[in-house]
């Protein structure tokens, strides 16, 4: 646990008692503060009371009397589409609003560090797609290299649940826009931006607000090294904002769209090969085509980001390459479930938006595509470049018929349920086909999470595999 500093003897309110909320309460108490907790869910309040925390309705009049700080869980809107009533009450009471990420960064340092040969470092990864795989890949490479490393944030453990880092230790954080948007302290040593595509637009009032939330990690975080995906205009803009000239190698540009040139530090993937160039000279290369845990161009972008982060931490190219070959990938992200009679089954339930689904589709040929769910803003037109790879779409979800109508030019069948979709796709698949779950939609019309949706796909596929 990382005890939260700066609130000794003070009361700190916590709104939302999920994983991050209860973790924050424990860490605040460990640092000498008195947590005051609230959640609209009665069972969540009961869990907090069972741990001995005070529970108080923070929406009632006068609830913020004597409160020094408010910590808000990431799922609770603090501004758009409308501020939560408790957040608005904190504003009126003049109480600063923060989240567990802000508490982590203000409390991460320790007096013990004076005795360390190498102070611990934080690598923070954000972006629309690929941040989980990139974070996990960095963690895996560092672990294989014998480093003391912990994975936390939007993946793995809560940020305040990790152990105090050891001499030379590294903490790898995956950070969503919900987390970077509100944190009052953001001070990573290395910050990674993978890419940007429309997502969570209601929480950020459009693309501008969404990008601004991601950009805070760099503009306000002031990392020593920034690793920026430049395959979108937003990444190119951010590179220009952060550099002091073309040769400034404090910024590492990464791309999976083509070769990068110039005197700076560049890492790119082209035709399945990762290349590193620094000061105009090649410094490393990896053949990514035979790395089973990183299929497709989207994973090659993740590989570039992870490679750049590990190089910035001082690892040699060969050490990184060896670790890439032992990376098994993450569940629900281009996860190969099995094969039967020449037909492969791949679970990419994490492809909850159109951009992620497009990248998943571009990684395979002859696809039996299971898609559909709670559609996000923007429609499905961006998927058209990949539809020639799709032999047939099998659409699930409560609005499956409406979803299917948007797949103009693509053979489709409304299946509604996962069981029917897997059964139909596997029955019609031929040797060389891939049955791919890449929904291009959220899961909440039928499942509690994309993980539950992926688990259902796996369960149905295992029936087929026998």
**Residue-level pLDDT at 79:** 95
Q: What is the mean pLDDT of residues 145-149?
A: 96
Asked if residue 402 has pLDDT above 80, the reply is: yes
With cut-offs at 50, 70 and 90, classify the pLDDT of residue 54.
very high
Residue with tokens 């939260």: 4
Cα separation, 46 vs 53, in Å, equals: 10
**Residue-level pLDDT at 171:** 97
**Residue-level pLDDT at 330:** 85
Q: What is the mean pLDDT of residues 252-279?
A: 96
Q: Please list, in sequence order, all residues whose beta carbon lies within 8 angstroms of the beta carbon of residue 274, skipping any fewer than 6 positions away.
A: 267, 268, 284, 285, 286, 288, 300, 303, 304, 307
Q: What is the mean pLDDT of residues 395-413?
A: 93
Q: What is the mean pLDDT of residues 413-428?
A: 97
Cα separation, 236 vs 243, in Å, equals: 11
Cα separation, 352 vs 375, in Å, equals: 9
Mean pLDDT of the chain: 94
Q: What is the dihedral of CA 4, 6, 11, 14, to 10 degrees?
A: -40
The per-residue pLDDT for range 180-190, each reduced to its tens digit, is 999 999 999 99
Nearest Cα residue to 2 out of 180, 157, 184, 176: 157
**Residue-level pLDDT at 91:** 97
The first and second tokens of residue 117, run together, are: 């040969």
Q: Which residues are annotated as a binding site for ATP?
A: 127-133
Helices (H), 316-439: 317-324, 354-361, 400-405, 418-428
The percentage of residues in the chain with a pLDDT greater than 70, rounded to a whole number, is 100
**Residue-level pLDDT at 125:** 98
The per-residue pLDDT for range 99-136, each reduced to its tens digit, is 999 999 999 987 788 889 999 999 999 999 889 999 99
Q: Which residues are annotated as a binding site?
A: 127-133
> 11-98: CATH homologous superfamily?
NAD(P)-binding Rossmann-like Domain (3.40.50.720)
With cut-offs at 50, 70 and 90, classify the pLDDT of residue 279.
very high
> 335-465: CATH homologous superfamily?
Mur ligase, C-terminal domain (3.90.190.20)
**What is the third-level CATH fold of 104-324?**
3.40.1190
**Residue-level pLDDT at 113:** 85
335 strand-pairing partners: 347
With cut-offs at 50, 70 and 90, classify the pLDDT of residue 31.
very high
**Residue-level pLDDT at 351:** 92
Nearest Cα residue to 440 out of 362, 360, 367, 385: 360
Q: What is the mean pLDDT of residues 440-455?
A: 94
**Residue-level pLDDT at 420:** 98
pTM score = 0.85
DSSP string covering 189-241: SEEEE----S-SHHHHTSHHHHHHHHHHHHHTT--SEEEEE-SSHHHHHHHHH
With cut-offs at 50, 70 and 90, classify the pLDDT of residue 89.
very high
Q: Which residue has the higher pLDDT, 295 or 170?
A: 170
Residue 7 CA to its chain's centroid (Å): 30
Asked if residue 8 has pLDDT above 80, the reply is: yes
Domain ranges for the chain: 11-98, 104-324, 335-465
With cut-offs at 50, 70 and 90, classify the pLDDT of residue 196.
very high
Nearest Cα residue to 232 out of 216, 255, 251, 260: 255
């Amino acid at each position: 646990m990382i005890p939260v500093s700066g609130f000794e003897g003070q009361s700190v309110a916590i709104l939302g008692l999920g994983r991050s909320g209860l973790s924050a309460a424990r860490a605040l108490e460990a640092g000498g503060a008195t947590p005051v907790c609230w959640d609209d869910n009665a069972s969540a309040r009961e869990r907090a009371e069972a741990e001995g925390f005070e529970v108080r309705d923070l929406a009632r009049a006068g609830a913020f009397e004597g409160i020094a700080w408010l910590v808000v869980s990431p799922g609770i809107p603090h501004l758009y589409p409308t501020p939560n009533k408790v957040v608005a009450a904190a504003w009126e009471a003049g109480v600063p609003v923060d989240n567990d990420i802000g508490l982590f960064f203000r409390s991460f340092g320790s007096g013990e560090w004076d005795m360390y040969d190498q102070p611990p470092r934080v690598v923070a990864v954000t972006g629309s797609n690929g941040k989980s795989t990139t974070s996990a890949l960095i963690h895996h490479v560092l672990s294989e290299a014998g480093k003391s490393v912990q994975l936390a944030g939007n993946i793995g453990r809560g940020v305040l649940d990790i152990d105090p880092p050891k001499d030379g230790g590294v903490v790898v954080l995956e950070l969503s826009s919900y987390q970077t948007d509100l944190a009052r302290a953001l001070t990573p040593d290395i910050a990674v931006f993978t890419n940007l595509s429309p997502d969570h637009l209601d929480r950020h009032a459009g693309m501008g607000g969404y990008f601004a939330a991601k950009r805070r990690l760099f503009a306000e975080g002031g990392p020593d090294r920034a690793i920026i995906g430049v395959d979108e205009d937003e990444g190119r803009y951010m590179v220009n904002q952060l550099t002091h000239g073309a040769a400034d190698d404090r910024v590492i540009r990464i791309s999976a769209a083509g070769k990068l040139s110039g005197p700076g530090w560049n890492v790119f993937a082209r035709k399945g090969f990762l290349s590193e160039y620094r000061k105009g000279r090649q410094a490393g290369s990896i053949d990514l085509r035979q790395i089973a845990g990183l299929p497709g161009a989207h994973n090659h972008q993740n590989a570039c980001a992870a490679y750049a982060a590990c190089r910035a931490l001082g690892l040699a190219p060969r050490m990184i390459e060896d670790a890439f070959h032992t990376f098994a990938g993450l569940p629900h992200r281009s996860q190969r479930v099995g094969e039967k009679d020449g037909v492969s089954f791949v679970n990419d339930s994490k492809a909850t938006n159109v951009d992620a689904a497009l990248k998943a589709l571009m990684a395979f040929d002859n696809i039996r595509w299971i898609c559909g769910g709670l559609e996000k803003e923007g429609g499905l037109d961006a998927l058209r470049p990949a539809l020639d790879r799709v032999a047939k779409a099998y659409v699930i979800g409560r609005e499956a018929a409406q979803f299917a109508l948007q797949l103009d030019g693509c053979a489709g069948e409304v299946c509604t349920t996962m069981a029917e979709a897997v059964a139909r796709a596997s029955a019609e698949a031929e040797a060389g086909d891939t049955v791919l779950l890449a929904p291009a939609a959220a899961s909440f019309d039928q499942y509690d999470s994309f993980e539950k949706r992926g688990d259902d796909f796996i369960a149905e596929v295992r029936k087929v595999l026998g």
